[in-house]
């Protein structure tokens, strides 16, 4: 934990604000800007409203505690918090992935999963019989095994550099697993990380729309009819689908 706290302190709140161009402090009341963009020691405490909004969405629908810790650590390496702004952990990406695996996506509910199953050519796409939640379960176990075998520690307790080495071993298929493709899993993990960073906050990631702020993406806006012809770049305070709902 101490290590993670240190990492979080390395976010320079001021730099992130400069980058996004928004006056965050006064506006944001959700827990995340307060808790993750930790104020530097000389700065004032987060607004009192921060503790009043409990995010009931932040509990596990699928992962065990151990799995959650691995995913949180791994996605933070894929999309790390730094001077530019929050990373996967601060944005709630592991919660996002947990929630996705609990539903249709995790069960491959709308994919063709009937047999017979044959290994195919690369150009024919995924031909396995395992569903995404099963792939995660198996691959996370293997990540833990590989970490233990190589470093005698749990993945989540490795140094960031060691975690990168483990992830790279998966990315480059250097891990020998018979049931799932290590690189296939890694690719899915990267995809799911980016989804968690940039999907509407309603899914549990992109907390406070801070993922969108990184990219100056304005989220859910009704019209750019006055923007489309503009030469100058337009910085627009993002809005979410939740904002849309409150307009009705």
Partner 1 sequence: MARKLPKVDVVIVGVGWGGGIIASELTKAGLNVVGLERGKERVTEDYYMVHDELRYALRYELMQDLSKETITFRSNEKIRALPMRTYGSFLLGDGIGGAGVHWNGWTFRFMPYDFQIRSQTIERYGEKKIPPGMTIQDWGITYDELEPYFDKFEQMAGISGEDNPLAEQMKAKRSNKYPTPPMKHSPAMRLFTEAAQKLNLHPYTIPSANLSAPYTNPDGIARAACQYCGFCERFGCEYGAKADPVVTVIPVALKTGKFQIRTYSNVRRILHTGGRATGVLYVDVTTGEEIEQPADIVVLTSYVFNNTRLLLLSKLGRPYDPRTGKGVIGKNYAYQVQKGQATGFFENKEFNVFAGAGSLGMYVDDFNGDNFDHSDVNFLHGGGINILQLGKRPIQNNPVPKGTPTWGKEFKAASIKYYTRALTVGTQGASLPYQHHYLDLDPTYKDAFGDPLMRITFDFEEQDRELSRYLATKSEEIMKEMGADKVEASKELGPYDITPYQSTHNTGGVIMGGSPDTSAVNNYLQMWDAENVFVVGASAFAHNSGYNPTGTVGALAYRAAEGILKYHQAGGGLLV
List of residues contacting partner 1 (CB under 8 A) = 77-80, 82, 84, 87, 104-105, 108-114, 116, 118, 120-127, 164, 167, 190, 193-195, 197-200, 202-203, 211-212, 214-225, 227-231, 233-234, 241, 244-245
Please, what is the minimum distance in Å from the beta carbon of residue 111 to partner 1?
5
Residue environment code for 27-38, b if the CB has 16+ CB neighbours within 10 A, otherwise e: ebebbbbbebbb
> Quick one: tokens of 152?
């005698």
Please, what is the minimum distance in Å from the beta carbon of residue 81 to partner 1?
9
Please, what is the minimum distance in Å from the beta carbon of residue 168 to partner 1?
10
Supply angle C-alpha 117, 105, 196, rounded to 5: 130
Residue with tokens 């690719």: 187
Nearer to partner 1, 177 or 194 (CB): 194
Nearer to partner 1, 31 or 81 (CB): 81
What is the C-alpha separation between 109 and 103, in angstroms, rounded? 8
**Is the CB of residue 196 less than 8 Å from the CB of residue 227?**
no
Nearer to partner 1, 178 or 230 (CB): 230
Nearer to partner 1, 46 or 85 (CB): 85
Picking from 196, 194, 198, 200, the residue whose alpha carbon sits closest to that of residue 245 is 200
Nearer to partner 1, 39 or 103 (CB): 103
Please, what is the minimum distance in Å from the beta carbon of residue 126 to partner 1?
6
Please, what is the minimum distance in Å from the beta carbon of residue 103 to partner 1?
10
Residue environment code for 103-125, b if the CB has 16+ CB neighbours within 10 A, otherwise e: eebbebeeeeeeeeeeeeeeeee
């Amino acid at each position: 934990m101490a290590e993670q706290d240190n990492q979080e302190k390395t976010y320079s709140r001021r730099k992130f604000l400069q980058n996004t161009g928004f006056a965050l402090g006064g506006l944001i009341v959700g827990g995340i800007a307060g808790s993750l963009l930790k104020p530097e020691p000389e700065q004032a405490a987060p607004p009192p409203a921060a503790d009043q909004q409990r995010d009931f969405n932040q509990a596990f629908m699928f992962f065990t505690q151990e799995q959650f810790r691995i995913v949180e650590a791994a996605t933070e390496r894929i999309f790390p918090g730094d001077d530019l702004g929050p990373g996967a952990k601060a944005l709630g990406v592991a919660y996002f992935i947990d929630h996705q695996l609990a539903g249709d996506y995790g069960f491959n509910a709308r994919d063709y999963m009937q047999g017979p199953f044959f290994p195919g050519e690369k150009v024919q796409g995924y031909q396995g019989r395992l569903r995404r939640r099963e792939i995660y379960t198996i691959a996370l176990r293997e990540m833990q095994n590989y970490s233990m075998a190589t470093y005698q520690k749990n993945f989540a307790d490795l140094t960031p550099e060691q975690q990168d080495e483990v992830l790279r071993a998966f990315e480059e298929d250097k891990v020998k697993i018979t049931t799932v493709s290590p690189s296939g899993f890694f690719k899915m993990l990267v995809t799911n990380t980016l989804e968690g960073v940039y999907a509407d906050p309603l899914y549990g990631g992109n907390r406070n729309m801070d993922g969108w702020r990184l990219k100056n993406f304005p989220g859910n806006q009704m019209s750019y009819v006055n923007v489309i012809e503009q030469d100058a770049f337009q910085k627009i305070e993002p809005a979410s689908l939740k904002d849309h709902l409150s307009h009705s």
